Every structure is written in C-alpha cells, then in structure tokens.
Structure 1
Amino acid sequence: MSRFFFGKFDSKRPIQIQEKYYAAGDEGDSWYGGIEPGDYVFIVTNSSVIALWKVREYGNKMNPINPADTGVVFFDEVKQLAQPVPVSQFVKSPYFNVDLNLLNKISKSTFGCGFFPIETTSIFPREQWDQLSFQSERHFFVTLSTQLPPIVENDVMVVINNLQEARITAFLEWKGGQSQPYHGLRKLYEEKNSENERYTLHELLAFAEEEAPYKRNYLTSALNELEKQGYFVVSNPAKLYDNILVGRRRTPITKPGPTSTTQSSAFSPESLVEEEWPENFEQYRTYAELLEFSPNLILYGPPGTGKTFATKNIIEAFEYKQQKRYVPFNTVEKEERVRFITFHQSYSYEEFIEGIRPQLDDGSEQERGGGDIHYKVESGVLKQMVEAASTQIIKAESQLSGISGTELIRTNSRVWKVSLGRRNDDIIYNRCKSEQHIAVDWLDQYDLSDKSYNDIYALLKSERDDDAQNPTMDANTLDTMINQMNKGDFVFIYDGPWTIRDIGVITGDYTFLKGRPSPHIREVTWLKEFSEPMDISDMNGGVRLTLKTIYELPRIQMSDVQRLIGDVDASATTILKAQHVQQLPYYLIIDEINRGNISKIFGELMTLVEKDKRQNISTILPYSKKPFTLPRNLYIIGTMNTSDRSIAMLDTALRRRFVFVEIEPDYSLFDQNNAKVGYVELALLLKSMNEKISEKIDRDHRIGHAYLMDVLTIDDLYKSWYYKVLPLISEYFYNDVASIQSVVGTRFIEKSGSFRFLSTLPSSPETISEFEKALVSLYKGSEA
C-alpha cells in the first residue's frame, strides 16, 4: 500500500515546484526521507500545503539547486488544492493521526531531511481525490476532568486533573458519541517527557516566567480559560506541543550533521536539534547579510510589525554567520554584547556619547549640607559599547599573534602606570622584560601575600627612622601591587613625563621571590614594545606622568589601549590576517531612532559610523578632549515607526550612512501560529483593515501583525480589539467617526464616536457570538 508524506519545498527555489522535482542527489540520501516511487507527498511551501503529488521515479536532471550532482526525484501531480491550506489548519484535519511530524516537523525548520511520513485515518479519501477537502477540522481542547467541552466527532482532549495542580492525566478522542484513549498523543507525550519531568501547567508557567515570554502567555491563557469555563480551545496544535506537551525546554544538544547538505544553505545549523532552532530563521538570513554589508541598519515599518522583536532574530542569524554555530540572543545578552536604548525628543549627545556630570567629593559631607562639587566626564551608551567592543578586538588580535593571557582582559580592566627601575638604569627593566613580570622593591624580607595597606604601612614605618618621611607613597605602591591589581589589568611602562615604552597585561597573582632584588612581582604578558617612546598625553587628558612607581591611569580606556596596540607598526599582512580573526560582534539597538534629534545626538560622530571610517578616522571629543573612533565590530541596529515619521523626513546624513529594510505586516505568520480564533480568521481580518487604511491614509499607517499575534482565545481577541486596535485607528483618524467606521464597520462605533462593546457569548454552542460575527463581516463584506 502506498505511503503518505509531506515534503518541505523552499519558496526561494520555486523551480522545483514548477518542474516537480526535488534535488538532493542520489536515491537514498537522507534529504529524501525514504520516499519511494508510488508514495504520495503533500507539498508544503510558505507554511502552507499547496498540492498532492505522487513519486514517479529517481533520475538525473541538470538543475540550479545542485549543479555538481544531477540526482533528483521526479513527481506527478495528483491534485492542486484550490487554495493553499495553512499548516496550522492541515494538522487539524481528521484525515491524519496526530504525531511528532504533524505537530513539530511540518511547521519548524528542519535540516538533513525534507520529507516526513504521516499516518492517515480510516476516513481519508484514498484514491478518491475529488473528495479531498480540508474544510473539516478536528478541534483540540485542554479540559478539566470534570468538564466536557463542546466536542464533535474526532475531536481530541488533553485532560487536566484539577485547577489546583493542573497535571495532565489523559489523552482522549471523541468517537461515536463517547471518549476513548488517544494512544498516539499519549505515546508522544511520554516519549518527550520522562516520568519525573511530566510537569504540571503551573510548574511549566514558573519555568517560563523569565526566559520564555510566548510560552508564559500561552500557559497563562490556558489556565485562565480553564478557570473561567473549564476548557481551553487550542487554535494551533503545534503550539500545544511546543508549550505544554514537550514540557520544559532544555539546552540544545548536538547531533551529527546530515550525510548531504544539498538542500541546506550555508546557514543550516546541522549541529542542533531542529526543535531548538528558531522559527523563520531563513527570512533573517538576508538581514544578517545586510548587516555584514553595512554595520548600520534601520528596520522601518508600521507599528506592530515586530521590528524590535526582529532585531533579536537578526542578531541570532548574524551570530551564526560569524561563528558558524547557533548562539541564542539571551546568551549574547548575558555576555553583555548587546544594549537596548530608546531615542526620544529630549535624548542628548551627553547621554549617547559623553557628557559632564556634577559629583560631590564626599557623600557624608552632603548629608551635613557641605561637600565640594567637581565635574567628571562620563561615557554615554555608545562610548561604553565602544570600550566593550575594543576589548574584544584587543583579545582577538593578540590571539592572532600567538600571545597568551589576553583571555583575562575585561571591559573594566584597569590601566596602571608602572616604573621599572631607576631612570637611565635598565637592569631591572631588562630583567622584567625577559622574565615576563613587573617588580617592586621595599620590604624585601617580607612575603606580603596576606597584608593589608595598614600592615604594609606599619612594616615600612618600623624600618625607618622616626624623623623619616611618612611611607604613604611606598605603602600605596606595594598595596596596589598586592591587593589592587587584578589579572587582566594593563600595565603601561613609564619612559618619560609624556611617554611609555611598553604595554603588558597582568596574568598572575602577587608572588614573593625570596632572596631576589625587587622580590614583589606579578607575571605579565607583553603585548607591545614600542620602537620609539609612545606619547600618550592626548589619551591621558594632557596630564603628565609622575615618578611614583605604580598608580592608576583612569583616563585611559579600552579604545585607547586597542589603538596603541593595534595601530603602531601594523604591517599589511597583519591587518589582512586580522580580518579573519574571530572578533565577537557587539550590538547597539536603538528603538524609535526617528524620534530623536539625530544631528544633536550623534554630533561629529555621524561621519565615524560609516563602514570605511571605522578604526580609520578619529575625532576629538569635546568634553574629554580625547581622540575617538568606532570599532569595526560594533553594529548599530535602529527601528522606526513610519506612522510617527516617514523616511523622507529623516536626517539626510543618517539616511546616507544606514541601510534601510522595510518590515511589513506579515499575514503568513498567522498560518504558522493561530490562523483562526473561534470563527475569526485573523490574517483576513488584519489584511482587510490594512487595505482600507492604505486607501484612506497611506501604507505607513497600516497595523502590524503583532497586535493580534498573542491572541489565543476569543477573550484575548476581545481585549486586543477594544483596547489596542480600535484606539489606534481612532488616533489615526483623529476620532473622525465616519472615517473610523469605513475601516471597522458601524457595529463597533456609535455615532457619537464611543465604542460599542459586543458580546462574546454565543446564544448556543452551535452559533456565533455577536462580537465574532461583526469581525467576520469586516473581511467577508457583509453586515449581515
């Protein structure tokens, strides 16, 4: 007997659908999923089922998918569906037994296989293709054991014991007017969750609170509906699987890659379980490529199109492009490689780049009404990100040169000025350079490992005459060497009042070398020896270096260190090699970028954001008087709502330096998530309204899919409609009643302009509610 499969065809390769073949090399390749001549395949593309084909034969065909291998499988068309069937609707068909393939593989990115078997039921019209229709749907419910939802033949129930515990106890199917065990779904549940990991809904919600916002919303809606009416209507079985049946999502695990990568792109993360890979990854590949083309990207579009949400997926796609492995966005956050900010009308240069902040010298004096005020230059968000990104460049380029120890460097690593020996006497300096450490003398008979500043001061005092100068400076030096310095800090080796001769990074803890001159040491790795003394006065704010043996240089920042290490004596070969070193990217996401005064906020840095100006051109900042440049591994992603301001009104200089991507309302997302809630088809509803808004105002004021994406129940739809969508449309039309009614009809708006709140309760289980009926009429064109 012939078997049935669904096959996933890339919409970016339409030639395979047009010419009815699939190119994955010779028969037996894993991408074919074991299909054989005579098998039937439902064709899935763009998250919809479009046709039923029959496998004809394996053969050879020159094709653009895999020019090096002509092996393909050919198909014959059995039935072209009149309308594409969203996968969320297809999986609810009573034609099929629900299993992992239908609940997960059909709607998720999969790698290494393009065809998956499905099991048909007794009512499937085998060989009677004219009767094949997907209008009939089986319904899925999560229901309390004491409640019978409004079920009909073939419907499926996931049974919960009670509200207090909310534990899954049974899987039932309604057949012949009674319930019976639904073994397939129970088997899947038990396979995916070991006995001690079959969590209650309350436990799943607690797990999802912080790290899984969609799962949190889903579980919250389910529990609310269970409390309200005793059952929860599942609009998309795939989401039931994701949010309830698979339990707690764990860390992705690796698996061997597929035997062939014919159908996979360079972005296919074969090392991941497909369930863990983010949905719609492919659509963000283009944005990741754009970010590589230009480090400055702006996503623009109507409100609610998911621009801010898209930045997270773009970063994940870009991380994969850079590192060839999947890095979740929350990992990038934990590594402090991304920052979110929002521009507004009062946002300033001082907040963005740097500014002067007043500070009291002594907080305790402030309480008594005293204390002197001084002014300090503080870095803004962009400058902080520059320092962090510069730190990564130092580490990457040092690793390129084979220098060890730089992995200890931190964004908050401190910089210390260190004198090695006396002026014009290089004995100690040469010894420290050759032995890879820094050293100081005083108290050369004592191991100071556990000594505090007061201990050190007392020891110094005891060794000196009563009339000798207080040993404060020497105690500070020793205390800094022993207690203040940390591994990963930088040392600048003193040459003169304005110059240094070397840069090193501290790689070891304090060590006492008994019997050696200058016995107090810390191991260092030398990063840079200057052929000529290097003037750092501009980086140090024009302040002279003093003869004190060790003290901090707080004005020197990571970008300064990176410039000193990377720019001096850098040969063309080194620069070329550095381009291939893995430099972790850093991201600054600017929400509502069009709401700020761009010229005022960016100031003289507008020129520096250009790709070819990064690390090539610097400017002097007005407050710190220091040279400043942007590193090449810092990426700026902005978002803007076109309903606030169009691109044409943006600062011209900004438009020249950023690439722009329009994010439009994406109606196909409803097919993947919740195509239908109750009787309302969300995609058709939103599309109908947007067509009217485009005609009445313009396309910039359309409504994004995000306004309805979290809608799981009629109650959710009611709240989104009355408290999000209608107020937005009223604002668009300045409360012009006639214009508002031209978009949302007359049933929701009184002549006075007040909202009319319609009932969500149907008069009987078989009828439609007044609220749903009014919404359906908006896209079906009837007020009846």
Structure 2
Amino acid sequence: MSKVYFGKFDSKRPHQIQEKYYAAGAKESSWYGGIEPGDYVFVVTNANVIALWKVREYGQKVNPINPSDTGVVLFDEIKRLSHPVPVVQFIKSPYFNLDLNLLNKINKATPGHGFFPIETTLAFPMDNWDQLSFASVRRYYVTLSSQLPPVAENDIMVVIDNLETSRIIGILEWKNGQSQPYASLQKLYDDKNSKTERYALFELLEFAEEEAPNKRNYLKSVLSELERQGYFAVENPIRLYDNVLVGRRKTPISKSNMEVGTEGKTPITQTVETSDIEETPELFEQYRTYAELLDFNPNLILYGPPGTGKTFATKNIIEAFEYTLRKRYIPFSQVEREERVRFITFHQSYSYEEFIEGIRPQLEEDTKQEEAGGEIRYRVEPGVLKKMVEDASAQIIKAESESSGIMGAESIHSGSRVWKVSLGRRNSDQIYNQCKEGKQIAVDFLDHINLADKSYDEIYSLLENERDDGAQKPTMDANTLDTLINQMEQGDIVFVYDGPRTIRDIGVITGDYAYIKGQAAPHVRPVAWLKEFTEPADIYDMNGGVSLTLKTIYELPRIQMSDVQKLIGISNDMNKTVKTQQHQQKPYYLIIDEINRGNISKIFGELITLIEKDKRQTVSTILPYSKKPFSLPRNLYIIGTMNTSDRSIAMLDTALRRRFVFAEMEPDYAVFEQNTAKAGAVELASLLRSLNEKISEKLDRDHRIGHAYLMDVLTIDDLFKCWYYKVLPLIAEYFYNDVAAIQSVVGTKFFEKSGSIRVLSTQPPDQDTVSDFEKALLALYKGTED
C-alpha cells in the first residue's frame, strides 16, 4: 500500500522542483527516508507546501547538486496546489495525525534526511485528489479541565487540571460531540517527558524566566488566557509543542558541532537518529543570501524600518555564514563562548577612542602608596575594534601554523604574551644552536639545580648565595629565571634577540619548564618555531620606537598579535584556494547596532580605508596614539544595522557607503503565517500591511512598522497592549501628534478629536463574539469603518 510523506526541497535549487527529482545518490541514502515507487510526497519548500507528487522510480540523472553521483529519485506531479500552503496550516489539517515529524522535523534542519512519513486519518482523500483541500483546519486549545472551549469536530485540547497546580492531565480530540483521548499526541508527550519530568506550566515558566525568553513569553500568554477565560486558543501547534509539550527543553535546542553533510551526499558523520534531528533550527535557508553577501564583502549593513528584525537577524546570519564555511551547524551561543563576536551600539557621543584606541587614566597601586590611594598614570588602551583585530590575528596565526604542520600552535590565543629572549652569550652561538636544534629556549644560570616549583624569593636566595659579598644583587637574573619557570605559559610567543632593533626567530611555547641535567643551558621551555628569518627582522616601529635591551627575558607589551602575524608573513591573498586553510581560520564578527546614529567619520577616522575588502592585511596606517602600524585582518567581519526612520540612508557618509554592502530588511508579513496568524478575530498580517500602506502613502516607506512589533502577540490582551503602548505612540510620533494625519492611518476609533487616546474594550458585548477593540482593527484593514 502506498505511503504518504513530506519532502523538503531547497529553494536555492529550484531545478529539482522544476524537473521533479531529488538528487541524493544511491537509493540506500538516508536522505530518501525509505520512499518507494508508488508513494506520495507533499513538496515542502520555503516553509510552504506547493504540490503533491508520486514517486515514479529511482534512476540516473546528471545534476548540478552531485555531479560525481547521478543517482536520483524521479517523481510525477499528482496535483499542484492553487496557492502555497504554509506548513502551520498544513499540519492543522484533519487529514493528518500529529507526530514528531509534523510538529518538529517539517520546519527544522534535518541533516542527512529529506523525506518523512505522515500518518493519515480516514479523512485523507487517497486517490480522490480533486477533493484534496487545506481550507479546513483543526483548532487547538490549552484548556482548564473545568472549561469547554468552543470546539468543533476534530479539534484538539491539551487539558490542564487547574490554575493552582497547572499540570497537563490529558490530550483529547473532539469527536461526535464528545471528547476522547488523542493517542498520537499523547504518546509524543509521554515519550518526551518521563513521569518525573512532567512539569506544571508554572514550573516551566520559572525555568524559562532565566533560560528561554521565547518560552517565557508564550507561557505567560497561556497562563493569562487560562485565568481570563479558561482556555488558550493555539494558532501554531509547533509553538505549542516547543513551549509546552517538551518540558524544560529550551526552544530551540542547538546541537553544537553537529556535522552536516550536503544534500546529495552521504553525511559526514554516522546517520543521525531521527529522535535527535529536532535539535537544529532551520535558519540557513532564510539567511543564506545575507551570508553570501558577507562572503562577497566583509562589511555588511542591514537597513530598514524599525522592528524588521535587523539585530535579531545578525545572529542568524552568523550561523548561516559559519555553516557555509565549515559545513556544520555552529550555534551563535558557541560563537559567543569562543569570544568571536562582540556587540556594540553607536550613539552620538561614541568616539574614536572607544572604537580604535585612546589614552585612558589608570590607577597604579603599590605598597608605598596604599594610603594615598595609588598614582594615576595615562596609558594607550585599545578600543573594541582593535581588541577584535588582535583576537582575529591570533586565530590566523594559530590556524595557518597548524595547517603548516607546526605542533603546539593550537595553544596560541589572543591573550598570549610576547617575550623577548636572548639565547646564549655575546659572540657565541652555542646555546642558540642548541635551542634551535632542540626546539627550546634556555637559560644557563644556576645550571646545577633543578628549579621546578621554586618561587621568585627562593630563586633569588639561591643566586645570592652563589655571589660574593658586595657583589651586584641578582635581581635581573632572578627575574629572568622566574619568568621562564613561573610566568611564561603555553601559547605565549617568544622573539629571539638579534640586536637593539632586530630579532632572529619567532616561536611559541608548547610546554612547561623542564630541567635537562648536563646541558649547557639546562633550564628550558619547549617551543615550536613559527618563523626563522634568513635576515634579522626589524621590530623597532612595532615596539613603539623602543629599542631592545640585553636583559635575557622580558615582556614586550607593545607587540600585539597583529604584529606577530605580519612578522610571520602569513599570506595576504584574499582569494586563497586552499580550502583547509580557509575553514581553519575561524571568522570574528563585530556587530554595530544603530551604526547611523554615530558620527562615522569621527569614529572610524583613518580606518575607513582599511575596512575595504581589498585593503585587508595589505594596507596599514600609523595610529595617532600608539604610533604603531595597524591593519585589519581578512577574517574580521563587520555587520551594522540602521533604522531608516532615524536617518535616511542617503545621509550616510559616502565613503562608508562605498565600503559596505547594504541589504534592506522589510516588514515580513509571512512570519505571521508561521507563528501566530490571528489574535482573536484580527489577522495580524493584514493589520500590519494596511498600516504600512497608509504610512507609505502619507509619509514614506522608511517609517513603516516592522513585524517584530507584533511577533509576541498571541492573544487579544497581547494585541491590546502592543497596540496602545507601542504602535499608537510610534505613529503619533511619526506625525507629530497631528490628529487628522494619525486618524488617516489608524482610523477615527482610537483618537478623540482633541488628540486623546480612546481606549476600546477587549470584552465582547452581550450576544456578540467580537469586542469593540477587534471590530475597530478589523474595520481598519477591511475598509469598513463607519
């Protein structure tokens, strides 16, 4: 007997849909999900169902997805739907029994899997395809056990015992005028929640307060409606599943480092268990274009009206970009943990000193000044961008050293310190040659004693005991040994001294202190040589115009990771073809919110030139405070956001516009179909579209209202608060409290002639199901206002 599936087709590969095939190699591939000739497949693309196909056969077809393997499955079209059906509407059809596939996998990334079976009901018109229609939907409710919501045939109820304990006690279906257990969803709930982890709604809310803000907002609306009217009308069963039925799980859970194959190829790792697939959100499709733009130009600005999700989108763009580079899902939270992203907001007083570098006062305390509170000194401190440059440069050094086979480079990090080291004595290369051959740095003081675990004071005493009375105090030698033994760490960089301005080699410390008895210089630290110069390298300018001294070991605080990167001589080629190197170099991201609110010329200064793509790592400038050369690495990406209602994009600095690519983010009415289409009787997409059409006509398109303003609306109470305390004040500000202009946009019901706001009731009058508030909003977008 034929089975029914849904199949997920990438909208970026439209030829598969146009030519009705799916390329995943041999029939045994997990991507096919076991579909057989004669089975039926609902075609899902861009979160919409567009057609019903029938599996014809497995065969061969040359295709651009997997040129090396022509194995495909071929389909025949049974029915093309007259209008794309949003997946939320699709899964609410009475044709299907809800299960994990429909509630989760249909709208989540499913690495290694493209087709999933659907359990149909008796209502499904198998072979009677002319009757196939998705106009009729089941309604879903969360309801108190003492309350019967306005159910109709096939509707589903998640039953809560009472408001005090708020526990789920059953999942029911309304059939033939009475309720009965709804087995498929009850089983899913039982499977996802052990008996000891079936939490009350209040317990879920307590968890969500700190861990999951989306879950928190949803649960608050559910509890509010249960208290107000005894039931909560569910617009989106997927959100019901994510926020109520799966317990204390975050929404969505991100599976860190999940290896993902590409469509048409065997997944990189073993086949993914279907119970685990739910843990990766499917964001790449929607944000792939932005990720491609970021690859085209490392400087991207998202612009649009307020509330279009620009700041929110930056996180998803980063996830999509990480996926394009590394072919595996890296959640934004992991990028944060790796400290590869920073978020700042520009404002009118934001300065160059905060962004690049500046002189800042520091309080230096010592034992002699404790009572006075310390001495104030002024130092050059790096700003946000400069710190990120050092982080990104350290990553480049680490990645490319590893790709060159240098063992130990993996310990390099942005906090690695740089040390000047003299190896041996003047006019003798014995110790230097020993160190180069043995991959170590070494000191020959106290050559007969193992100094492991010795403190500075103990080392000082040992040196002092070996010296004659009246001899020079061994302070410098003690400092040298203490630095080698106790202060240096794995990942620190060493510069081998050649002369007052030059160095001979660069290495990275790869291990702890060791004592090698019998060696000329027995106190050693193992190193890996990153660079061995054929001619000594001049670091005078990098060191701030300060010459190197003869002291054996001391820190070079002026030398930054970006300086080390330049000295090592890492390639500046922006179009490298060695894929392993590209993927090893982890990208760093600077997100600048409200970028147009700052004085761009003042903040960026001379760096406006350096951010340009082809100037990265090839052009440098001398910074005014530190007097050091500075350039931007190629793995640093800048993402800015700007509200067009604050300042027209045309007013931005021309130099800035030339160096960035700009992507407009408009109000997205389709998101309501995938989340909450209606609040009470009000269709949110229609309401917002009507508002924006009028604002565009009366004012301009830059002042439209974004979908984010209504994204958290689940109930009429939510819409009431959003309308009166967010939308109306914003529109009033747009039109400078001109009552006639405001009424031309929102109608006459919400404002008195005097300009005072008129508050309408959300409670329906007697013998009516729609409140005055809902009626006024309906009239606004239907054009039926009296």
TM over 0.5: yes
The aligned amino acid for 1:558 is M
The structure-2 alpha-carbon separation of the partners of 1:202 and 1:505, relative to structure 1 and needing over 3 Å to count, comes to: farther
Q: Whole-Å Cα distance in 1 between the matches of residues 389 and 118 of structure 2?
A: 52
Deviation readout 1:115-165 (Å, 9 max, x if unpaired):
544344344566766665544433212233344334333221212344455
Q: Whole-Å Cα distance in 2 between the matches of residues 254 and 589 of structure 1?
A: 23
**Mean Cα displacement is larger for which, 71-80 or 372-381?**
71-80
**Mean Cα displacement is larger for which, 734-743 or 119-128?**
119-128
1:673 to 647, 670, 675: 675
The aligned amino acid for 1:180 is Q
The structure-2 alpha-carbon separation of the partners of 1:556 and 1:690, relative to structure 1 and needing over 3 Å to count, comes to: same
State the Cα distance separating 1:699 from its structure 2 match.
1.3
Q: Give 2:98's aligned residue.
A: 98
Structure 1: runs of 5 or more not aligned: none
The structure-2 alpha-carbon separation of the partners of 1:355 and 1:121, relative to structure 1 and needing over 3 Å to count, comes to: same
2:393 to 380, 390, 394: 390
- The answer to whether structure 1 residue 140 and structure 2 residue 140 are counterparts is yes
Q: Taking every aligned residue pair, what percent have the same amino acid on both sides?
A: 72
Kept in 1: contact 2:364–2:374 (CA 8 A)? yes
Correspondence list, 1:251-266, <5 A: 252=255, 261-262=263-264
2:747 to 745, 748, 760: 745
Q: Give 1:475's aligned residue.
A: 478
Q: Give 1:279's aligned residue.
A: 282
The aligned amino acid for 1:86 is P
Q: Give 1:507's aligned residue.
A: 510
Structure 1 counterpart SS, 2:477: helix
The structure-2 alpha-carbon separation of the partners of 1:564 and 1:16, relative to structure 1 and needing over 3 Å to count, comes to: closer
- The answer to whether structure 1 residue 439 and structure 2 residue 423 are counterparts is no
Q: Give 2:501's aligned residue.
A: 498
The aligned amino acid for 1:712 is L
The structure-2 alpha-carbon separation of the partners of 1:683 and 1:597, relative to structure 1 and needing over 3 Å to count, comes to: same
Q: Whole-Å Cα distance in 2 between the matches of residues 771 and 575 of structure 1?
A: 60
Deviation readout 1:77-101 (Å, 9 max, x if unpaired):
55744x5443222322334322223
State the Cα distance separating 1:261 from its structure 2 match.
3.4
Correspondence list, 1:572-583, <5 A: 577=578, 580=582, 582-583=584-585
- The answer to whether structure 1 residue 219 and structure 2 residue 219 are counterparts is yes
Q: Give 1:296's aligned residue.
A: 299
Deviation readout 1:663-719 (Å, 9 max, x if unpaired):
111111111111122211111111111111111111111111111111122222111
Correspondence list, 1:295-314, <5 A: 295-314=298-317
Q: Give 2:188's aligned residue.
A: 188
1:343 to 335, 343, 346: 346
Kept in 1: contact 2:257–2:328 (CA 8 A)? no
The aligned amino acid for 2:179 is S
Structure 1 counterpart SS, 2:395: helix
The structure-2 alpha-carbon separation of the partners of 1:763 and 1:471, relative to structure 1 and needing over 3 Å to count, comes to: same
State the Cα distance separating 1:471 from its structure 2 match.
2.1
Q: Give 2:378's aligned residue.
A: 375
The aligned amino acid for 1:560 is D
The structure-2 alpha-carbon separation of the partners of 1:365 and 1:445, relative to structure 1 and needing over 3 Å to count, comes to: closer
2:703 to 698, 701, 709: 701
Kept in 2: contact 1:620–1:628 (CA 8 A)? yes
Correspondence list, 1:381-420, <5 A: 381-420=384-423
The structure-2 alpha-carbon separation of the partners of 1:196 and 1:730, relative to structure 1 and needing over 3 Å to count, comes to: same
Q: Whole-Å Cα distance in 2 between the matches of residues 485 and 615 of structure 1?
A: 29
The aligned amino acid for 2:439 is Q
Q: Whole-Å Cα distance in 1 between the matches of residues 266 and 516 of structure 2?
A: 59
Q: Give 1:603's aligned residue.
A: 605
Q: Whole-Å Cα distance in 2 between the matches of residues 370 and 42 of structure 1?
A: 74
Q: Whole-Å Cα distance in 1 between the matches of residues 408 and 32 of structure 2?
A: 49
State the Cα distance separating 1:55 from its structure 2 match.
6.3
Q: Whole-Å Cα distance in 2 between the matches of residues 632 and 593 of structure 1?
A: 21
The structure-2 alpha-carbon separation of the partners of 1:596 and 1:364, relative to structure 1 and needing over 3 Å to count, comes to: farther
Q: Give 1:327's aligned residue.
A: 330
Q: TM-score, normalised by structure 1?
A: 0.91
State the Cα distance separating 1:767 from its structure 2 match.
0.6
Kept in 2: contact 1:150–1:765 (CA 8 A)? no
**Mean Cα displacement is larger for which, 37-46 or 727-736?**
37-46
State the Cα distance separating 1:769 from its structure 2 match.
1.7
**Mean Cα displacement is larger for which, 617-626 or 38-47?**
38-47
State the Cα distance separating 1:300 from its structure 2 match.
0.9
Deviation readout 1:539-592 (Å, 9 max, x if unpaired):
11111211211111111111111111125xx79999865854621111111111
Q: Whole-Å Cα distance in 2 between the matches of residues 526 and 632 of structure 1?
A: 24
Deviation readout 1:11-61 (Å, 9 max, x if unpaired):
455566667676777888765656667665555444334455666778888
The aligned amino acid for 2:660 is F
State the Cα distance separating 1:486 from its structure 2 match.
0.9
Q: Whole-Å Cα distance in 2 between the matches of residues 40 and 573 of structure 1?
A: 48
- The answer to whether structure 1 residue 235 and structure 2 residue 235 are counterparts is yes
**Mean Cα displacement is larger for which, 374-383 or 47-56?**
47-56
Q: Give 1:317's aligned residue.
A: 320
Kept in 2: contact 1:594–1:650 (CA 8 A)? yes
Q: Give 1:168's aligned residue.
A: 168
Q: Whole-Å Cα distance in 1 between the matches of residues 412 and 16 of structure 2?
A: 51
Structure 2 counterpart SS, 1:106: helix
State the Cα distance separating 1:440 from its structure 2 match.
1.8
The structure-2 alpha-carbon separation of the partners of 1:293 and 1:574, relative to structure 1 and needing over 3 Å to count, comes to: closer
Q: Whole-Å Cα distance in 1 between the matches of residues 443 and 32 of structure 2?
A: 70
Kept in 1: contact 2:403–2:581 (CA 8 A)? no
The structure-2 alpha-carbon separation of the partners of 1:99 and 1:350, relative to structure 1 and needing over 3 Å to count, comes to: same
Q: Give 2:685's aligned residue.
A: 683
Kept in 2: contact 1:4–1:39 (CA 8 A)? yes
Deviation readout 1:370-410 (Å, 9 max, x if unpaired):
75432100000000000000001111121122111111112
1:589 to 588, 591, 600: 591
The aligned amino acid for 2:776 is A
Kept in 1: contact 2:400–2:581 (CA 8 A)? no
The aligned amino acid for 1:291 is L
Give aligned pairs, total.
Answer: 778
Structure 2: runs of 5 or more not aligned: none
Kept in 2: contact 1:143–1:157 (CA 8 A)? yes
Kept in 2: contact 1:501–1:534 (CA 8 A)? yes
Q: Whole-Å Cα distance in 1 between the matches of residues 762 and 575 of structure 2?
A: 69
Q: Give 1:652's aligned residue.
A: 654
Q: Give 1:75's aligned residue.
A: 76
Correspondence list, 1:484-633, <5 A: 484-566=487-569, 577=578, 580=582, 582-633=584-635
Q: Whole-Å Cα distance in 2 between the matches of residues 505 and 36 of structure 1?
A: 58
Q: Give 1:457's aligned residue.
A: 460
2:363 to 360, 366, 369: 360
Root mean square deviation of aligned Cα? 3.3
The aligned amino acid for 1:465 is D
The structure-2 alpha-carbon separation of the partners of 1:53 and 1:555, relative to structure 1 and needing over 3 Å to count, comes to: closer
Q: Whole-Å Cα distance in 2 between the matches of residues 644 and 254 of structure 1?
A: 39
State the Cα distance separating 1:434 from its structure 2 match.
1.4
Q: Whole-Å Cα distance in 2 between the matches of residues 298 and 571 of structure 1?
A: 25
Q: Whole-Å Cα distance in 2 between the matches of residues 42 and 581 of structure 1?
A: 36
Q: Give 1:664's aligned residue.
A: 666
Q: Whole-Å Cα distance in 2 between the matches of residues 79 and 439 of structure 1?
A: 76
2:433 to 430, 442, 447: 430
Q: TM-score, normalised by structure 2?
A: 0.90
Kept in 1: contact 2:357–2:382 (CA 8 A)? yes
**Mean Cα displacement is larger for which, 295-304 or 519-528?**
519-528
Q: Whole-Å Cα distance in 1 between the matches of residues 739 and 425 of structure 2?
A: 86
Structure 2 counterpart SS, 1:762: coil
State the Cα distance separating 1:746 from its structure 2 match.
1.3
2:713 to 711, 714, 738: 711
The structure-2 alpha-carbon separation of the partners of 1:224 and 1:528, relative to structure 1 and needing over 3 Å to count, comes to: same
The structure-2 alpha-carbon separation of the partners of 1:19 and 1:773, relative to structure 1 and needing over 3 Å to count, comes to: farther
The aligned amino acid for 2:780 is L
The structure-2 alpha-carbon separation of the partners of 1:418 and 1:222, relative to structure 1 and needing over 3 Å to count, comes to: same
The structure-2 alpha-carbon separation of the partners of 1:488 and 1:111, relative to structure 1 and needing over 3 Å to count, comes to: closer
